[in-house]
Chains A and B, each alone.
Chain A
Amino acid sequence: MVSKRFVLKRLLLLVPVLFGVATLVFAILHLSPGDPARVIAGQRATDAQVAAVRADLGLDDPLWVQYGRYLVDIVTLNLGESYIIQRGTPILTILRARLPVTLELAIYGQVIGILLGIPFGIISAVKQDTLTDHLTRVGALTGISMPIYWTGPLVILLFAQFLNVLPASNRIASQFDPPVYTGLITVDTFVFGLQSGEFAAFVSAASHMLLPAAVIGVYGMALISRMMRSSMLEVIRQDYMRTARAKGQGAKITVMKHGFQNALIPVITVIGIQFGTLLGGAVLTETVFGIGGIGTMLVQAIEVGDYPVVQGTVLVFAFLFTLVNLGVDLTYSYLDPRIDQ
């Protein structure tokens, strides 16, 4: 059982993390070149119009005043409105519409990474120093070494261009227009399929999701399998494993029954830490595959200088990352109760 004190302590840690992210984003955006007032007023605006926008936004105030106002706005969940991308639309509304797209991609990527990485890691450890082990390790190293912006175009070339078996971009074929329930397109199309008995839209959404999720997943798989192998090798050498084997238990049952859970503990930590990488990877993957999630929007916002969108997006990413790590900590301490002591 996870103690309340432990949970409270981890929850309180969210405050300095988000405060640190907000502060860092403020500094980076104000240090970067470009004038938001000029961007909002437009390139043809006169100096007087730019000055009026500047005064209206409070950009004439000293930076410490702006910083204080910015922190108060964040605490009251007032992330402002978009300057350019969706002019006048509150950031929270934009994020609410785009977040499920990125989350769906990151979740499927994580699932693929876990489903491939854990079995590969176990097989590699059990068959240590065999050809299978070497192949798995080379595969893992290749996965870690190849950046997403390179593997993305490669798989598009292979599966969409040469083999022509999977779509190259977008979330669903243009002839489908499924209703939005959750924003997660595979879930929405599946629910729609259950209601209408027609699953063509779901098949289209799933096939569109496969390549981008696989690109993120392979990257995640590499680290998970390496950690799983290392952790399992350590567990396999423990006395209790030898005892179980000496009592006549089969090798597979011993590994899965006594080894797996213990070996899983450090891997779970890595999965949590990696979620941040997956969110970062989603930015690149969305751009490569033309998926309109938070990642694509963040790139656009940085390019055109839409500061409130950049600030809001980065804060939401940080919040998600800390939430996932909180979940990981709770799982970790559930598997190993000594952790929260």
Chain B
Amino acid sequence: MSPPPDDTPRRELDRASPTLSRRLTVAGGAFLVGLGGGVVALAVATLLLSSVADGADTAFLLGVLLFGFGTLGWSGSVLAGRGFEEMQRRLDTGADWTEMDSRRAMARIGGFGAGVMLAAATLGTLLT
């Protein structure tokens, strides 16, 4: 006898267990936006600091900050997220924080930061 068909909606399955392509879409999309953000950050920082080298350093540092925050947040969510979910449920905090939402948000922040870093480093090397 064949097992009963899985009638769980496709979207729900994707949310519960993201595929590699889904993960790449989340982080990759943010990375591409970050590349644009890096160009803007470099232009603004260069205008403010009157030096392309200083501007590139500042833009790169902002990218590092976002990338580090995203990486730490993502791995922290995976590492301890389930525990936090359980804790807030039991302490009845009424917060809607979930490990999955946090992981995805952090992947976006990290991807964006990586984009800013790459744009700042590449343009900084080319222009100085």
Q: Which residues of A contact B (CB under 8 A)?
A: 10, 13, 16-17, 19-28, 30-31, 62-64, 67, 226-227, 230-231, 234, 266, 269-270, 272-273, 322, 325, 328
Residue in chain B with minimal CB distance to A66? B57
With A17-B75, A20-B75, A270-B83 known as contacts, the answer to whether A27 contacts B90 (CB < 8 A) is: no
For A322, give its contact among B56, B79, B121 (CB under 8 Å): B79
CB A315 to nearest CB in B, in angstroms, measures: 12
Please state if B83 and A30 are interface contacts (CB–CB under 8 Å): no
Please state if A273 and B74 are interface contacts (CB–CB under 8 Å): no
CA distance A17 to B120 in the complex (A): 24
Q: Which residues of B contact A (CB under 8 A)?
A: 53, 56-57, 60-61, 64-65, 67-76, 78-80, 82-84, 86-87, 90-92, 117, 120-121, 124-125, 128
Please state if A24 and B72 are interface contacts (CB–CB under 8 Å): yes
CA distance A272 to B76 in the complex (A): 13
Please state if A20 and B72 are interface contacts (CB–CB under 8 Å): yes
Number of A-B contacts (CB under 8 A): 97
Residue in chain A with minimal CB distance to B79? A13
Residue in chain A with minimal CB distance to B70? A20
CA distance A269 to B86 in the complex (A): 9
Please state if A64 and B121 are interface contacts (CB–CB under 8 Å): yes
Please state if A272 and B72 are interface contacts (CB–CB under 8 Å): no
Residue among A17, A24, A64, A270 facing the most chain B CB atoms (10 A cut-off):
A64
Residue in chain A with minimal CB distance to B87? A270
Residue in chain A with minimal CB distance to B56? A62
Residue among A26, A269, A273 facing the most chain B CB atoms (10 A cut-off):
A269
With A273-B80, A273-B84 known as contacts, the answer to whether A31 contacts B61 (CB < 8 A) is: yes
CA distance A24 to B79 in the complex (A): 18
Please state if A63 and B80 are interface contacts (CB–CB under 8 Å): no
Please state if B125 and A273 are interface contacts (CB–CB under 8 Å): no
Please state if A16 and B75 are interface contacts (CB–CB under 8 Å): yes
For A16, give its contact among B64, B74, B90 (CB under 8 Å): B74
With A13-B79, A20-B75 known as contacts, the answer to whether A62 contacts B125 (CB < 8 A) is: yes
